[in-house]
Structure 1
Amino acid sequence: MRTISTSALWGAPALLALASLILMPASNATEDSPGESASPTDSEVVEEVIVTATRAGEDTPATHSNLSKEAIDEQYWAQDLPMLLNSLPSVYSYSDSGNGIGYSYMRIRGFDQRRINVTINGVPLNDAESHEVFWVDLPNFADSLQDVQVQRGAGTVLYGPGAIGGAVNLETARLTPGETFNAEFGIGSWGTSKVTAGWKSDLLAGRWVLGLQLSRMATEGYRDQSWTRMGLAFFTAQRLGTNNLLRINLYGGRENSHLAYEGLTREQLAVDRKANPLSWPGEQDRFSQPHFELIHEWQASRNLEVANTVYAFYGRGYFDQFREEKDWFELHLAESYGEGRATEVFRQRWIKEWDYGWLPRITLQHGRGKLTAGAEVRIHRAEHYGIVNAQNLPAGTESGFRYYDYQLPKTSTTFFVQEEWKPGEDLTVLAGLQYVQHRWSLEQDRVTGIDYDVRYAWWAPRLGVHWRINPRLGGYLSLARTRREPTVKDLFDPQDAWDAPAFRNVDPSGRATGPIPREERLDDLEVGLEYNSERLLVKGTVYRMDFRDEIIYLGSINDLGQALTGNAERSRHEGLELEAAWAPAPRWRLAGSVTVSDDRNLRYIEDGWAGKVDYSGRRIAGFPGSLARLTAAWSPSWGRVEIGGQHVGRIFVDNSQSREASTDPFTLWHLDLLYKLPGGRDSRYSLRLRVENLFDSEYEAYGYNWGVPTFIPGATRNLFMMLSWKPAR
């Protein structure tokens, strides 16, 4: 679930207009003349140069994995993006509904998605306040992707702030001229359905290509009342020049979901694994967030590339909750607990938020080096309020009152510079420096009267070396130091009457100063080795991530489904990652990965349900100790057959390291069958069957501790069948 000032609405168009002027080349000498049509070959070269400017290459000293368009098509059926990325090393994903559609969550090396920097074409997707990623707003987005790169650890400075556990960069499709159509229809277990249709134009007006993708998805979910209804439209207009490329992307839709974030106790699982404690039919979430992106990439000269992106997105929605009763104190109607209780409590919690920003970047090739410099400016404005209708309210309080009502503006600014230098043909040295500043305020809190203004800022250096030992063998070493600011609710949650401002001083007027939560600080060491031949790829990475003041998960959530956190004085994450792919014969491929990690609090005293407890030396909640994957695929001329398995080790759901408060290790297998139907010369028809949890295992994917451990069950065996019509490659 989701946890605006007027001036922001005027500021966005002004910023977009200014940036649009900056986007265009300065002189006609760098434009194609009106009479010329763009050369697709030239435009594709420009695009490739620009895209790789923000990506880690094969000789970049950074731990990363790539998912190509072909791999996306092979792996994607209808699941959410986290479940698609679940095939990559050290990635673990699960969903509230149990079947991978709806509210889904991703972890890299055990770090949750609030600590992973997620971008679309470089544009930040993480929520500015909670750092969360709401994948439910992007159904079927995989069909609009060109490729994905996932960096593990601190990564490079090019991905913006917030990359503690990793970074996910989603690149949307880059169009080439030629009119095509595509359509897909799928049905599966638990009422799951998917309908998509797409179109791409030929070259229009000598230089434009248009594309449109429409999608509608629905599922009842594996768990009771965990259904989701989602729609998405993705429109792109791309102008192909001989030395520049302009892309305009508009995408968004609506989602409506029944909430299912609460887990079940062991006793409840034994009675009914599919039960959903949020059983009121109206416990639903409704949200929409349309996105606008204007991306201009200009090859100013042989050695100089200039890129600018401006973006804006507006989110608006609410969710409903029903509780049989709530103490007046919990509704901000009493000074202390126990003065009275409201009954038949209906709460509607609203958010309206506006984000807009600018991403300039310049890349200069010089001698043996490549210098990249850029910035990111993001402006966020949000209005939060909650409406209560209830019985048995205090005298003078009418139903329909607002029990929280506040505004929160935030501005984030990042500057970065990175030099990639090759002193020799086989050696690459990478040095980067990033400056990050976040500033936000709590304003116009009409209920609690609290207001504050905070600022977090830091420098983040990176240094790495990659050595190409021979054409098949290479290795790298990477050192990085970075930080991440607390979330807004780590400081104070005006929606929760039990929460007190985490500040050293709060004066009688409600002004809070001296925030107690500290930004988490990371020193990341990565050492990797890679062997790559015509038929065999083997990679190995050893990492050590030392934290001060790590913001860790306490193991519990509030009644909004949001994680409760605290600062650990010292903590450490270290592990080994192995991955391999082998083509023993034409049309055959075997691939797998293994991650073994130790994630431990070194010095940590937790103030939780049981009071203050010393958890120093114990495993950190939420991090699986081991992950492993294996797939075997055969691609004959008539289709494709794949069988694969995933093993997930024990996950402790709190920091006590108690087996009772942990998920049991489990192994799941899937089967994927694709048959190419006879079709026309310019199109391809196919029928596909996907079987998840092939051997019908019962397992718990994740869990929480509300004082009693509760667990999110995963789906038993389930099927999905698709009929596709796509242009021939």
Structure 2
Amino acid sequence: MTKVFISMLFMTVSSWTYAQHRLSVEVVNEKQEKLTHASVSVSRAVRLQQQSDKDGRVQFDNLAAGRYQVQVSYVGYSIQDTSLRIDKDQVIRLQLQPLSIRAEEVLVTATRAKSNAATTFTNIDKQTIEKANLGRDIPYLLDQTPSVVVSSDAGNGIGYTSMRIRGSDNARINVTLDGIPLNDAESMGSFFVNLPDFASSLDNIQIQRGIGTSTNGAGAFGASLNIQTDGLQSKPYAELNNSYGSYNSWKNTVKVGTGLIQNRYAFNARLSRIASDGYVERASSDLKSFYLDGGIYGKKQTLKATIFSGKEKTYQAWYGTPEPLIKGDRGLLKDYAGAMEVPKGAETDRLLSADRKYNYYTYDNQTDNYTQTHARLHYNNYVNEQFNFSVALHYTRGEGYYEEFRPNDKFAKYGMKPVVIKDSVINKTDLVRRRWLDNHFYGATYAFNYTPSNRLKMTIGGAYNQYLGDHYGEVIWARYASTSELGDRYYFNDAKKTDFNIYGKVDYSLDKWLFNLDLQYRNVHYKIKGNDDKIKNIDLKDDLNFLNPKAGITYLINERSNAYLSYAYASKEPVRKDYVENPMKSFPTPEKMQDIEAGYRFRNEHFNIGANVYAMLYKDQLIPTGTLNDVGSALRINVPDSYRVGVELDAAWQISTQFTWRATAAFSQNKIKNFHEYVAVIDGDWNTLRTDEIVYKKTDIALSPATILSNEFVYSPLQNLSFSLRSKYVSRMYLDNTSSKERSINPFTVTDWSTRYSFSALGLKNVDLIASVNNIFNKKYEAGGYTFGNLTPTGDRVYYNFYTPQATTNYMLGLNIKF
């Protein structure tokens, strides 16, 4: 190992002594006018990227001799992609040709933070997405960005996954696809399991932390993901991407595209399948999806239709693993068996002999089944250099159920009469039920962009969306069926939600100063009527109006660095379970937050860094109590005063053409002031005697780590060969809001390794061989969990902790072929 290390060090140091060259690029349009802020990248093993200055120029220094790929892009022009061999200092001029921008690009631009915007964001390009896309869900592709924590029910990143940014969960992370909201209108979560392998159709992702800029959708409260799908390909292409790895995990993807036909039409298609047995017992996934688009691309106008769909079948694994199987105190398992209501006999024996991969469920079809199909129509009109606009229509159809076996359930719960057999009255039965969600989501989005001068840009945009959702349950089998019939619904309720928003943005520059003003108005109408699984005769309505102002200022220190300061205020409605399953039996209050962000950015050819501080000050924040409902979703309550404050760092250093180092760091405090906890006092016969109140003057918000670090080293000894070593550290996370170490997730560090080799052969455009080994040090860790418990009459605390264990050492192998 010492010799290997010395050899690698020698090669790295030697690379610094090789001949270094300079490449200067000047970007102009068809009229030979210089284009400012064009994106120019130079790629070999590692990608370097800059924006052109006021003279349309960029300069890359210290480039080793070899062949490079030079790519230039600018809104309103076709992408220029050139292969260039560099063996001396060179100056080149690249001329871009006009091309009407894609319909969705205006919408994406309208809701996306610009390069010098006074907000905190990270951009992830297509190359980075492709390198990591071996089948794991989209949250895992974002794991190396600041303040992100990801978790997987199955343990290996396939199937149901979750993500937190700055401690904010999925319900507060707004996701848009080409400017159209993805978040579920009721739960406000974004479930990428419903769109398996969507990463294979992506061009880039922008992550805005904090409130960010005004956008479409309901979840923009803690962070936003602004996702843009693949750009227009001018030439025909075909791709075949395959992966295989641990736990019988497979990913198969086929992509084809016509390129521009008659310089006017283009069509693209993708077909994908992902399957895995999962790390946790029986936590299997069977995921299928397709993507189709077709467009008419004129000089000034574009019309594009898109349809994509995903179908998922996942075995339920949200219940988690009892703490004794995680931490080794197996003597407590019998107590846990009682709290979990595990049937005595074989099931209790199975629990007592289990390991950390234990799954509470054993019924063969204890699965979640859901199909979601999206249809979109984008129209764009690039009127002139000062004015363009875009509108989009969208429709999403979702339908599915989760099926579960219920032992010894009461007939009364399902509206069925007891069964009388001779002299015996049977009040309970084993049964299998399905709980359905059947919904429609449709609407329109729009954006108008006006740029009267180089100093001023104005945008008006917004959306009107409506959601219709039916929730109902069926018993499909029962040991004793009573008087029930197939198709009977033991509960039914329908929900309707309309969401209207309009926003205006103004960007103004004066010398070295950039000023941003942003104002959004949202109107939300939500109603539920009918019977729920537990609550009958629901008749709930809520009408809300929100005014969300934002303002920022950026100072351009020089062409390579800037500093910014921003203030934003936002309000957000509760989600469905806050209304229906509120632990305090009260009507939930909308959340309100003030977000203050200040930061500094620096970038040159070899080094870039972003540093920012933030204060997210909440009023009536809805925070998790630590307990879950019966489908694994966290129950929440309003707390009057709470805050999240912290500092984030995001840096990359191109040490040489062979060696790159990237790192992020996030340090934060996430606190509730004067938190009131209500705990039931229960006697030995499980009778509730009373409820005690415990007051905490200041305590940590559940599942919000104070420190998150990531680190990546990339070594490229050859032009087409790279090795990557990534690590992630997450500090302690508390399962509830009491700052109790006894009810917490231990800190963990995970290290992954990957290698990638690219080449051309046998007429193939490109072949990628990829190998990835995750958790190379075989760390046993957990990334999520929950807790419940009570007090005894003598005041002792009894609690039961459950965790989502993540996979130990596992691998994925990939073979990607481009024709």
Q: Same fold (TM over 0.5)?
A: yes
CA distance in 2, matches of 1:678, 1:621: 50
Question: How far apart are residue 453 of structure 1 and its match?
Answer: 2.1
Letter in 1 for 2:290: A
CA distance in 2, matches of 1:102, 1:474: 41
**Contact 1:81–1:135, Cα closer than 8 Å, also in 2:** yes
Match of 1:243 among 274, 297, 300: 300
Q: 1:518 to 1:324 in 2, by over 3 A?
A: same
Match of 2:698 among 617, 620, 640: 617
CA distance in 2, matches of 1:246, 1:398: 50
- Counterparts of 1:308-323 in structure 2 under 5 Å? 308-323=391-406
Letter in 2 for 1:278: Y
* Greater gyration radius: 2
CA distance in 2, matches of 1:340, 1:425: 83
CA distance in 2, matches of 1:500, 1:623: 21
Question: How far apart are residue 342 of structure 1 and its match?
Answer: 2.3
- TM-score after normalising by structure 1: 0.88
Question: How far apart are residue 175 of structure 1 and its match?
Answer: 1.4
**Contact 1:50–1:305, Cα closer than 8 Å, also in 2:** no
SS at match of 1:74: helix
**Contact 2:431–2:479, Cα closer than 8 Å, also in 1:** no
Residue 593 of structure 2 is matched in structure 1 by: 522
Q: 1:166 to 1:475 in 2, by over 3 A?
A: same
- Counterparts of 1:297-446 in structure 2 under 5 Å? 297-327=380-410, 330-331=413-414, 342-367=428-453, 368-388=455-475, 401-422=488-509, 424-445=510-531
Residue 496 of structure 1 is matched in structure 2 by: none
SS at match of 1:82: helix
Letter in 2 for 1:722: G
**Contact 1:541–1:576, Cα closer than 8 Å, also in 2:** yes
Q: 1:232 to 1:608 in 2, by over 3 A?
A: farther
Residue 3 of structure 1 is matched in structure 2 by: none
**Contact 1:580–1:592, Cα closer than 8 Å, also in 2:** yes
The answer to which of 393-402 and 685-694 deviates more is: 393-402
CA distance in 1, matches of 2:480, 2:505: 60
CA distance in 2, matches of 1:522, 1:333: 47
Letter in 2 for 1:713: P
**Contact 1:342–1:392, Cα closer than 8 Å, also in 2:** no
Question: How far apart are residue 377 of structure 1 and its match?
Answer: 0.6
Gap runs ≥5 in structure 1: 1-38, 494-498, 504-515
Deviations 1:456-476 (A, max 9, x none): 111000011011112222110
Residue 234 of structure 1 is matched in structure 2 by: 291
Residue 379 of structure 2 is matched in structure 1 by: 296
SS at match of 1:267: helix
**Contact 2:764–2:817, Cα closer than 8 Å, also in 1:** no
Match of 2:740 among 658, 662, 677: 658
Letter in 2 for 1:218: A
Answer yes or no: is 1:674 the counterpart of 2:756.
Answer: yes
SS at match of 1:660: helix
Q: CA RMSD in A?
A: 2.3
Answer yes or no: is 1:215 the counterpart of 2:302.
Answer: no
Letter in 1 for 2:540: Y
Residue 369 of structure 2 is matched in structure 1 by: 286
Letter in 2 for 1:246: L
Q: 1:521 to 1:713 in 2, by over 3 A?
A: same
CA distance in 1, matches of 2:300, 2:406: 60
CA distance in 2, matches of 1:362, 1:486: 30
**Contact 1:554–1:608, Cα closer than 8 Å, also in 2:** no
CA distance in 2, matches of 1:326, 1:491: 26
**Contact 2:120–2:210, Cα closer than 8 Å, also in 1:** yes
Deviations 1:99-123 (A, max 9, x none): 0010001111110011111111111
Residue 133 of structure 2 is matched in structure 1 by: 76
CA distance in 2, matches of 1:471, 1:608: 57
Letter in 2 for 1:479: Y
Question: How far apart are residue 576 of structure 1 and its match?
Answer: 0.7
Q: 1:609 to 1:402 in 2, by over 3 A?
A: farther
CA distance in 2, matches of 1:561, 1:136: 16
Answer yes or no: is 1:725 the counterpart of 2:802.
Answer: no
CA distance in 2, matches of 1:231, 1:525: 42
Q: 1:451 to 1:292 in 2, by over 3 A?
A: same
Residue 450 of structure 1 is matched in structure 2 by: 538
CA distance in 2, matches of 1:582, 1:279: 50
Residue 14 of structure 1 is matched in structure 2 by: none
Q: 1:284 to 1:49 in 2, by over 3 A?
A: closer
Deviations 1:229-277 (A, max 9, x none): 0011011112221122222111012111101001122212345011111
Q: 1:347 to 1:463 in 2, by over 3 A?
A: same
CA distance in 2, matches of 1:109, 1:366: 38
Question: How far apart are residue 309 of structure 1 and its match?
Answer: 1.0
**Contact 2:584–2:637, Cα closer than 8 Å, also in 1:** no
**Contact 1:40–1:240, Cα closer than 8 Å, also in 2:** no
Residue 60 of structure 2 is matched in structure 1 by: none
Q: 1:594 to 1:226 in 2, by over 3 A?
A: same
Deviations 1:512-568 (A, max 9, x none): xxxx21000000101101121211111111001110100111111111111100001
Residue 259 of structure 2 is matched in structure 1 by: 202
Residue 508 of structure 1 is matched in structure 2 by: none
CA distance in 2, matches of 1:629, 1:329: 53
CA distance in 2, matches of 1:155, 1:706: 35
Residue 546 of structure 1 is matched in structure 2 by: 617
**Contact 2:204–2:229, Cα closer than 8 Å, also in 1:** yes
CA distance in 2, matches of 1:180, 1:594: 39
Letter in 2 for 1:402: R
Number of corresponding residues: 668
Residue 490 of structure 1 is matched in structure 2 by: 578
CA distance in 1, matches of 2:106, 2:539: 47
Residue 650 of structure 2 is matched in structure 1 by: 579
Match of 1:643 among 713, 721, 725: 725
CA distance in 1, matches of 2:640, 2:658: 52
CA distance in 2, matches of 1:324, 1:300: 65
CA distance in 2, matches of 1:126, 1:77: 24
Gap runs ≥5 in structure 2: 1-94, 329-353, 418-424, 682-690, 790-799
